[in-house]
Structures are given as C-alpha cells and as structure tokens.
Structure 1
C-alpha cells in the first residue's frame, strides 16, 4: 500500500481534506485569470500578488516538514507540487519562500515524479 491518504475517519484524513481544499480553491483556481486574454496587466499583477500571499502561507506551513502532512508523502503533495511548479512557468517569484522551494525540489527528486515529468515532456 502506498499510503497516499490517511485512514478514513481520522483527524489526519480531515487535515488532508483541508490541504486539498486549500490547493484547489486558493491556489489552483487563482491561476485562471492569468490565462484570460482580456485581463489587464494591472489586474494580473493583483492576481499574482494574491497568489504570492497564498504560497507564502503554504511556505510557512512547510517549515520543519518534508511534506504537507509532515513526513509522509500524500496525494496532497502530488497536487501541491503541481500547483507550486506553475509558479516557474508563470514567472511568479517565490525566491523568498525557502521552505516551498525546498519542498518543490524534494518532490521533484522522487523517481516517480521525474519519470512522469519526463514522459510529459516537462524535463529536458
């Protein structure tokens, strides 16, 4: 068993649900306006600043943790890594978020992640 999610009915499972909700509602959907061709540059800058605040919160939560839930990789990390990786593609500066940067590197170094990214043409 991969143990990608804590057992149903446990507080840890609810914490996982919190992370998945945060990732989908505060980060994932936050990128949508950046793809709107009618959005002004000023509006896009506002969107980027909001995303930076949300990623800043995520960065603070990662202090002292290997993964979002602690020491165990979960489905939330697969999602969190994906969304955090979009900052590179969208040129959103996260250089002040050292815990998030370390997290992205740690997840990217997982053999299965590297294999998947290579298969999708996301790595050279």
Structure 2
C-alpha cells in the first residue's frame, strides 16, 4: 500500500492506523498546493479533489476521504479491533464519530488554514466554533471512558486526535475541556502516534 500524505494534515490519522496495524506501506509526501507528490507524480491524476489522504491499495485501487480510508484499513485486519464488525450498532457508533470529526470538528478548523490572517471578531468566532465541537468530545468522555467508543482505541480516535492536536498549532486553548486534553495526551503517547509524528517531521525521535 502507499499513503499520500501531507505532514500534520488529517492524513496522519491513516498513517497512525497503518502503524497500529504493523502494515507494510510506502509514504509519498504530497504538496497539495502545487499538486505534486514527492515521487514527482501529478497528484490530481491520483486524487482529482487534490487533497489527502489518498491510499493506493495493493491491487492499485485508490481510496480517498478519511472515514473511508480508515474503515478500509481497519477491515483489513479485523482482529486488531480498530473498528467494530460491520452491521452492528457499535459500527454505526463508529461511523457516527467519524462523521462528526469529519464534518464538524475538522471543518471548524478551516478558518485557521484559509491563508488569511485571523484577528478580532473573526478569530473569536473561529475559536468559539472549535470550542463547541470540543465540548461535544468532552461530553462523550464524561462517563470516564478512555476513547470515543469506550475503552477500546479505534480509527475514530486516530482521526479525532489529529484534528484536536491542531489546536496547539493554531493557538486555540483546550483548557476548558480537561478530559479532552487528557484524551489527546493519551493518544499522543501511543507508539504508533509517535512513530507517525516523527516520520512526518512533527517531533524528533527520542534518544
């Protein structure tokens, strides 16, 4: 398999899951601005929408969109427990969480990556938008569960971690959501997460 990624972008969720599975895969860093991959390919011929992730399977099929890529990966190794079985209520809960992260939490960070400087009322509005979505995560963790679906780490947690982790990069405080902060720290400490962040140049390898 090959994962087209951009350092620190939402594609890192798939990178983390590939590490969790111990899968054999290649990485191809992609510049979504120029549309070129590190290997010199035109990324638009791979993913017409021009954004990551794009996973090329061993059979040559291209899968895009984080929820689809993540579930595909989990289903390749069901014994790893990264997604509940298809057809169960638990699987619907996973899809519910993935869709929330994709359409609500992820989208709330869009103003910070628009290329325009955020200040004054515009920044306050953007921060409030992130805060509302983080509050939902906080409520989800209110019963003491370690992860979004309970005590088991799933692909939804990899995606939620990557997006929530952006808060530190854009200067949005999560102090009002202590359970969410602990959740982010818990996933950040996983070996698969550390390995992905080192590979993407977001942190240095520990000595």
Q: TM-score range by the shorter chain?
A: over 0.9
Structure with bigger strand share is 2
Give the structure-2-normalised TM-score.
Answer: 0.57
In structure 1, which of residues 30, 41, 50 is the aligned counterpart of residue 129 of structure 2?
50
Counterpart in 1 of 2:81? Answer: 3
The structure whose Rg is larger is 2
Unaligned runs of 5+ in 2: 1-78
Q: How many residues align?
A: 124
Structure with bigger helix share is 1
Give the structure-1-normalised TM-score.
Answer: 0.93
Counterpart in 2 of 1:89? Answer: 169
User: In 1, are the aligned partners of 2:112 and 2:118 still within 8 Å (CA)?
Assistant: no
Higher mean C-alpha deviation, range 82-91 or range 45-54: 45-54
CA offsets 1:6-33 (integer angstroms, 9 cap, x no match): 0001000000011001001111111112
User: In 2, are the aligned partners of 1:33 and 1:39 still within 8 Å (CA)?
Assistant: no
In structure 1, which of residues 36, 39, 44 is the aligned counterpart of residue 114 of structure 2?
36
Do residues 68 (structure 1) and 148 (structure 2) align? yes
CA RMSD, 1 decimal: 1.3
Q: Does the residue aligned with 2:85 lie in a helix, a strand or coil?
A: coil
Unaligned runs of 5+ in 1: none
